Structure 1
């Protein structure tokens, strides 16, 4: 079985694509995969490292404001479609799977014209413009949030699957994880981070939280600053990071994130789709601080989907302060029943079988 996978630009599009690729290979050992992306996108680096064949096409997107750039888009998209069509004819896939980003447009449209079955996956509660257009041509549209249904055309064939999460996220045992981190059962473990590169606004708010809990042996805080913000964070908060009861930890990056998530009682983070998929898969309550500059403000839409179901609290980035964050955390830690209800609600929103459901959809359209 031959399968083409496409999706690019950011990790939010690429990592789900790679998860689907791994799932296809696990289910069909003899499957042949071709990933179509762009040379300028992150996929050109990540896909070859995952030992998947990679080919590039030209793909661009429209600017939201009127510009001369937009006049060149139809020409470049047409060139991308012609290149994609040639790759598809040469490879002869049984199905094309797209996970979003500009590159999906030419590839999925070319596949539709060539009568090759197509599936697209939308990660966010507010769908990207590319997937909204492609949903008119795709044989199946897999979505992460039910909130996204209303943004697609009525004729789109939608399926709520959730977002695939790394297998190691679900595999870690909570008790073993807490033992590894030297956390006794009664300690409340707070995990905070702003993504792989960190988040400056969160780095600026967390010290107030750390300062207020630095002498509380019943609370342990682990904050991930991001590599670029670590030195600045430590320099500004030496006394907090050094003068405590060993319950305050700041690191630039965390390689054992699955273990930390398994051990956590409360998570403070952005609201990217992949992050929320991991939180809900583990049934973790969160204080979500959506990244305000995400395209189409999709992180706030993601966060509101969980807040509406009482699975999380939200603080908008423009309203974030150390005091506001501390008050929110203090309120939740003082109310264990509220935390438990949030955890249960989070678990209900999780889709631990998302990958299997997407693979089933692929087989159905084939």
Structure 2
């Protein structure tokens, strides 16, 4: 089987695509797998590192407001669709799998033009433009939530790396804390806000740091590569630029302070790790919607970006970190919402779409 995955741009699109590729290779070792991306996306590093073929197409970012770029958009879309169609023909693709974002938009249109089987995966609670369009072309639509609002969608969760879905936090805790140079017996707060860090989270931790460490809490803080030179390690506080081994970071942690991207929410639920979610105040509000199910189930807390500060962390996060019974209850609640088999379920959908050909019964 020959599969093209359109999941470039951000980690939230790339990682589910790579997890799907890994699952497909486990089921069909001879499968020919290509990922679509652009020359400026994270996929240029992540895809080759994982050993997959990467084909580049022109980027087509969608303007959020009326600008001169909007007038050039139709021509850019046509050029990207032509290039994507060339890739699909060159790879003799049996099926296209799209994960949303600006790489998926021309891919769906090219697949439609070629009559190619198509599968759509929506990670967020609120779908974007690309997946709203792609879901009209096929009956094979997978989603994280049953309330996503896409026709024919099946709730399967988000495909995640095996390092995450196979993680046993309790049995790996000592390894995780040793890996990051943390003492074994202190309650641990893990803080991260994406590859560049998150200014609001960083400021709140800076304000609350002394009070947290004085109470016996230790902090593992991914501050972002641009900020690492401005912070100083101290007893109880371990700053790092970026965390490559998120599985070990999750194993080391008792509570997380983080944004609420779809991938983050899915990983924390899969491993049963309580979190304080601070949704980005931008976009269409999808981050708040991503975290709501876990928070409503009792597996986490949520605080508005503008309301997060050091005092809030001391008042709300510190009591949690020093209450192992409540943390255990929250862990159980979060884990009930986790999907550890989404990669395998999506691969079954891909195989079915490929076997039927033409991809869809959409409009």
- Using the size of structure 1 for normalisation, the TM-score is 0.88
**1:253–1:10 CA distance, 2 compared to 1 (3 A):** closer
Give SS of 1:349's match. Answer: coil
Query: CA shift at 1:341, angstroms?
Result: 2.9
Find the counterpart in structure 2 of residue 26 from structure 1. Answer: 26
Find the counterpart in structure 1 of residue 330 from structure 2. Answer: 342
Find the counterpart in structure 2 of residue 256 from structure 1. Answer: 245
After superposition, give the CA deviation of every residue in 1:238-295 in whole Å (9 maximum; x if it has no partner). Answer: xxx53xxx433333333433122123221111111221111111111100112223x3
- Show the 5 A alignment for 1:341-360: 341-360=329-348
Distance 2:236 2:59 in 1: 48
Distance 2:89 2:237 in 1: 57
Distance 1:57 1:214 in 2: 48
**1:342–1:360 CA distance, 2 compared to 1 (3 A):** same
**1:221–1:49 CA distance, 2 compared to 1 (3 A):** closer
Q: Which of 148, 159, 165 is the aligned partner of 2:160? A: 165
Give SS of 1:250's match. Answer: strand
Distance 2:243 2:9 in 1: 24
Find the counterpart in structure 1 of residue 52 from structure 2. Answer: 52
Query: CA shift at 1:97, angstroms?
Result: 0.6
For this pair of structures, how many residues does the alignment match?
A: 350
After superposition, give the CA deviation of every residue in 1:2-54 in whole Å (9 maximum; x if it has no partner). Answer: 11111222121112111111221121111112222223333234333433222
- Show the 5 A alignment for 1:1-366: 1-148=1-148, 150=149, 152=150, 156-180=151-175, 181=177, 187-217=186-216, 219-234=217-232, 241-242=233-234, 246-293=235-282, 295-333=283-321, 335-366=323-354
Structure 1 residue ranges without an equivalent (≥5) = 235-240
Contact 1:108 1:138 in 2 (8 A): no
Query: CA shift at 1:334, angstroms?
Result: 5.5
Query: CA shift at 1:92, angstroms?
Result: 2.2
Distance 2:296 2:91 in 1: 45
Give SS of 1:36's match. Answer: strand
Q: CA RMSD in A?
A: 2.2
Distance 1:36 1:174 in 2: 34
Distance 1:196 1:62 in 2: 23
Task: Kindly indicate whether structure 1 or structure 2 has the higher relative contact order, using CA contacts under 8 Å at least 6 residues apart.
Answer: 2
Distance 2:219 2:167 in 1: 20
Contact 1:169 1:262 in 2 (8 A): no
Contact 2:122 2:144 in 1 (8 A): yes
Moved more, 330-339 or 251-260: 330-339
Distance 2:46 2:218 in 1: 34
Distance 1:116 1:71 in 2: 29
Moved more, 337-346 or 173-182: 173-182
Distance 1:169 1:92 in 2: 32
Contact 2:158 2:342 in 1 (8 A): yes
Give SS of 2:250's match. Answer: helix
Contact 1:59 1:106 in 2 (8 A): no
Contact 2:62 2:102 in 1 (8 A): no
**1:332–1:76 CA distance, 2 compared to 1 (3 A):** same
Distance 1:174 1:47 in 2: 27
Structure 2 residue ranges without an equivalent (≥5) = 355-363
